[in-house]
Amino acid sequence: MSKKILIGLLTVAVVAGGVAALSAFEAHVINVTAHVENALNVSPKEIAFGTVFPQEYVDDNFTISLSDSFLTTGRLDDVEYVINQKPKCKSNTITDKSSPLLYKPLDYATHECPAGYTAMASLCSFLSKLPQDADGEIGEPSYYDPQTDSCPARLAVLASGRLAKSLNDLSDTWKVDLKVPPIAGNVAQDWPVGCPTVPAEDDYGCDLWVEVTNLSTVKEYPVEGSAYIGYEDWHQGDFDYNDFGMNFNAKEFYKQIGGTDYLSRLYMKFEAVIYDSGAEHYIHGLRKPLSGSYTYTVTRSGSAYAGEIATGTYTGSGDLNLVLFNTIKYAWPQIGIGEYVEVEVTLDNPLANPKTALPAPRPDLDPFMANYDPYEVVYQGQSGTFHIDATEIVTDTTQQKNTPRIIPIGIELPYILVVPITNWKAPHEDTTITSPYWHFLDYYDGLKGDWGPGGTTWYNDIDPLKNFVGYGGLAF
């Protein structure tokens, strides 16, 4: 006695449309177009076990991977999916087994077989879906347990998984296995009591539907590369922004639920670049606000020292505040340090953290920084705690050095400067920033037209004629 077994694998996509608005007296048409592609690839499209026999064990693998188009889309990062199972539909009239029209899936909307097709005898309850990669997927075990030679009650769980570009998790491999049940009336004595049977010899089938349940959007700062964060530790600073300097980039990942984006996880990287100060600092990384509990993993390129957060996995709740660097361990001066700290946070309850548009903490900062405060605590040589927000500004510029362009007293300057480009070069020690970056003053004065906030970027303009010989110039 034998049965023929066929499993179909499908992916599901959703299409969104646009709307045009009309008025009573005139009409304007907005041309809305979109190229729709699947986020996932599934291969192979079919698993055919062929003719099988009672109590035979058969299995095969299939792979779910991110599509090429998804991999090249910058605004999206990860895909969550479930593996559902539904009856397989077979043609009532087609007898050619090689015909591509012999089988069709259920209608997505009605959940019924198309006209001219009938649901096959179901194989679905006998299949397992088992992950082979062990990186977070949830499997659905077989109805039959070979360890106990029994058929325990199956948990009502759907096989599910997640693929994420940011984690370099681009594909999942799954195994489908089948312990072929016996035919009722012809059950061998060694078949466990309580285990199921099938009613008759027949062709059995099941469609596995790989259904996308969520796409996570990603918000990144800066959009490419990293930003330079430079610190001034004097109350009357020389404004060289190299007392400590580090590169910074962050990514936030949002799940969309009911039309609202919710923060599910975030990633931050801080890389020490320069230390050129006689004072000592604790450099903090503060991400705010965070609601509820979370798990965070810290990876350091070196050992933690005197108050710094060490490599490891931790739990927390509320705002996340970590000591990233203690500058006392660095030689003075030190350029091109290269030590880095990576932090990845996974929130337990994204619904407690809806995406909220906040204003930038200062006019010269991106709104992204409203949630971040890489503040400094100066504890030796000088003293003070300096934050990134608009209340932390300095107007006493009496300690400027080695610049032909003096910043007038009263101009509001930050203690912590954020420059949103990769590999930006800070001024040399005891060299006020207006020497190599002439238009810094124009920008922060806000009186020079195109160089005011929102105008031309001062940090990209190094005029060799204004980077005067005899002054400090750039540190590296």
> What DSSP string describes 383-423?
-EEE-SSTT-EE---TT--S-SSPPPTT--EESEEEE-STT
Q: Residue 448: its pLDDT value, please?
A: 55
Q: What is the mean pLDDT of residues 375-382?
A: 91
Q: Residue 460: its pLDDT value, please?
A: 79
Confidence band for 472, pLDDT divided at 50, 70 and 90: very low
pLDDT of 7 > 80? The answer is no
d(CA 436, CA 457): 14
Output the six-digit token pair for 441.
């003053």
Confidence band for 12, pLDDT divided at 50, 70 and 90: very low
d(CA 390, CA 409): 18
The pLDDT > 70 percentage for the chain reads: 87
Output the six-digit token pair for 93.
């009239």
| Higher-scoring residue by pLDDT: 396, 227 | 227
Coil vs helix vs strand at 449: helix
Task: Encode pLDDT of 111-149 as tens digits.
Answer: 999 999 999 999 999 999 999 998 889 999 999 999 999
Q: Residue 18: its pLDDT value, please?
A: 32
Residues contacting 24, CB < 8 A, separation 6+: none
Q: Residue 5: its pLDDT value, please?
A: 56
**Are the C-beta atoms of residues 473 and 428 closer than 8 Å to each other?**
yes
Q: Name the least confident of 122-131, 337-346, 425-434.
A: 425-434
pLDDT of 297 > 90? The answer is yes
Q: Residue 21: its pLDDT value, please?
A: 38
Residue 444 φ then ψ, to 5°? -80, -20
Q: What is the mean pLDDT of residues 316-330?
A: 97
Q: Residue 252: its pLDDT value, please?
A: 96
Estimate the share of the chain in helix, then strand, then coil, as percent rounded to the nearest 5.
5, 40, 50
Closest CA to 253 of 213, 217, 212: 217
